């Protein structure tokens, strides 16, 4: 039992260590606050080469360069805004996972809301249609129905 | 909505979706617009590959030219090289940006394969590359006489790319230079 627990604990610790292998190089920061901002920014910036990874996860040479630049700029006292502007000026809004809202990115930001509204509208129409469905027949229709049923019986 | 029309709703939805998906087939997901189109070529203070003398932006602008980002570790650059030589021979000025490379290997490359470049800017750390928004090699920038970037091509330049995309732009840039 004890051995099992130790093994489980060891495995769990191994799992915890996995994120450490994601990036090869490590940077020293003069202040812990800078390191936190480095983490946040490197997760928000997208690798221009691999496109579906952020620069924190990617080992592409360009991501290494951008991480180095990020570290340099943070240590030089640049604000988050300045750093993002620097990156966007070179690689376009594409480089951010949360692009600024403008004419080109409007569809990206609004599509989820629009789709949700369309879905809600569709659902509403469906529910309203269902409520109306048990319609009562007026006397003309009733007469036609009995006539039709009689002919059907005769044919059978 | 008329009940008849409602019946066609799934078909209409399908057709809209199919149209989008069909369009998606011919889109290149790697295509990315350069943020530097119509921006001036970034300033730099680097050295020339041939003789290590300093090289800056002022030394390389003044006439329309291509700026080709290359490196010896880049396989596609080797594929592209003969066509660049052909372009240079036909009179198109090409500057090289030797991107994150080793000088000795780069010099050997030019000696063995030929040198289509007016000059080569040594960008060992990739700093000019970052300022240009380069994310791989080869990339080629078309810069006009005023030093403004007019077009960026990512990937190999071959006869088709030149004929269909770059040459029309090149002629436009040349015409602009001669008219005023």
The arithmetic mean of pLDDT across residues B140-168, rounded, is: 94
Question: Is A5 contained in some domain?
Answer: no
Question: Is B166 contained in some domain?
Answer: yes
The per-residue pLDDT for A61 is: 86
Does A19 score more than 70 pLDDT? no
Question: Is A77 contained in some domain?
Answer: yes
Read off the pLDDT band of A1 (50, 70, 90): low
List CB contacts (< 8 A) between A51 and chain B: 29-30
The arithmetic mean of pLDDT across residues A77-92, rounded, is: 92
Q: What is the CATH number of the domain that holds B160?
A: 3.40.30.10
Does B121 score more than 90 pLDDT? yes
Does A16 score more than 70 pLDDT? yes
Give the integer Cα–Cα distance in Å for B119 and B157: 19
Question: Is B20 contained in some domain?
Answer: no
Q: What is the CATH number of the domain that holds A53?
A: 1.10.8.640
Question: Is A4 contained in some domain?
Answer: no
Question: Is A138 contained in some domain?
Answer: no
How many domains would you assign to chain A? 1
List CB contacts (< 8 A) between A90 and chain B: 35-36, 130-133
Question: Tens digits of per-residue pLDDT, A116-127?
Answer: 999 999 999 889
Task: Give the H/E segment covering residue B54.
Answer: strand B54-56
- Cα–Cα separations (whole angstroms), residue A115 to A48, A107, A120: 28, 11, 9
Residue contact B130–A69, C-beta within 8 A = yes
Give the integer Cα–Cα distance in Å for A12 and A3: 14
Give the integer Cα–Cα distance in Å for A47 and A62: 7
Question: Is A121 contained in some domain?
Answer: no
Residue contact B135–A91, C-beta within 8 A = yes
Question: Is B23 contained in some domain?
Answer: no
Which residues of chain A approach chain B closer than 8 Å at the C-beta?
48-49, 51, 61-62, 65-66, 69, 88-92, 94, 125
The per-residue pLDDT for A72 is: 92
Range of the domain at A53: 33-112
Residue contact A51–B126, C-beta within 8 A = no
Does B149 score more than 90 pLDDT? yes
DSSP states along A48-93: TTTSSSBTTT--SHHHHHHHHHHHHHHHTT--HHHHHHHHHHHH-G
The per-residue pLDDT for A23 is: 54
- Cα–Cα separations (whole angstroms), residue A73 to A27, A30, A43, A68, B42: 13, 13, 16, 9, 19
Residue of B32, B132, B136 lying closest to A94 (CB–CB): B32
Classify strands B120-123 and B94-99 as parallel, antiparallel or unpaired. parallel
Range of the domain at B62: 36-178
Q: What is the ipTM of this complex?
A: 0.79
List CB contacts (< 8 A) between A65 and chain B: 126, 129-130
Residue B123, phi then psi, degrees to nearest 5: -115, 70
Question: Is B31 contained in some domain?
Answer: no
Give the integer Cα–Cα distance in Å for B130 and B133: 5
Question: Is A139 contained in some domain?
Answer: no
The separation between CA B47 and the C-alpha centre of its own chain, rounded to angstroms, equals 21
The arithmetic mean of pLDDT across residues B87-114, rounded, is: 95
Give the integer Cα–Cα distance in Å for B130 and B42: 10
The arithmetic mean of pLDDT across residues A38-46, rounded, is: 93
Give the integer Cα–Cα distance in Å for B64 and B143: 6
Question: Is A44 contained in some domain?
Answer: yes
Residue contact A92–B32, C-beta within 8 A = yes
Read off the pLDDT band of B167 (50, 70, 90): very high
Question: Is A136 contained in some domain?
Answer: no
Q: Is the omega angle on the peptide bond into residue A11 within 30 degrees of 0, that is, cis?
A: no
Question: Tens digits of per-residue pLDDT, B16-30?
Answer: 999 999 998 888 777
How many domains would you assign to chain B? 1
């Amino acid at each position: 039992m004890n051995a099992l627990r130790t093994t489980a604990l060891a495995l769990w610790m191994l799992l915890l260590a996995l994120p450490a292998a994601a990036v090869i190089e490590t940077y020293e920061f003069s202040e812990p606050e800078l390191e936190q901002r480095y983490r946040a920014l490197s997760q928000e910036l997208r690798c221009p080469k691999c496109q579906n990874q952020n620069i924190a996860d990617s080992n592409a040479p360009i991501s290494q360069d951008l991480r180095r630049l990020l570290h340099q700029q943070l240590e030089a006292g640049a604000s988050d805004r300045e750093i993002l502007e620097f990156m966007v000026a070179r690689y376009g809004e594409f480089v951010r996972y949360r692009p600024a809202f403008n004419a080109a990115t409007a569809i990206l930001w609004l599509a989820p809301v629009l789709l949700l509204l369309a879905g809600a509208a569709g659902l509403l129409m469906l529910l309203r249609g269902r409520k109306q469905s048990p319609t009562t027949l007026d006397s003309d229709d009733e007469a036609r129905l009995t006539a039709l049923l009689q002919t059907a019986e005769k044919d059978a | 909505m008329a009940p008849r029309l409602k019946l066609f709703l799934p078909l209409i939805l399908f057709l809209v979706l199919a149209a989008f998906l069909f369009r998606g087939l011919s889109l290149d997901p790697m295509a990315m617009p350069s943020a530097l189109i119509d921006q001036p070529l970034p300033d730099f203070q680097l050295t020339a590959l041939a003789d290590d003398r300093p090289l800056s932006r002022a030394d390389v602008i003044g006439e329309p030219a291509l700026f080709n980002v290359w490196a010896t570790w880049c396989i596609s650059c080797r594929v592209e090289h003969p066509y660049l030589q052909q372009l240079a021979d036909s009179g198109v000025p090409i500057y090289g940006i030797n991107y994150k490379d080793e000088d000795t290997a780069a010099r050997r490359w030019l000696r063995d394969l030929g040198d289509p470049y007016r000059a080569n800017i040594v960008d060992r750390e990739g700093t000019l590359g970052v300022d240009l928004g380069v994310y791989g090699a080869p990339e080629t920038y078309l810069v006009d006489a005023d030093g403004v970037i007019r077009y960026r091509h990512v990937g190999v330049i071959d006869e088709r790319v030149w004929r269909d995309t770059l040459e029309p732009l090149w002629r436009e840039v040349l015409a602009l230079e001669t008219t005023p």
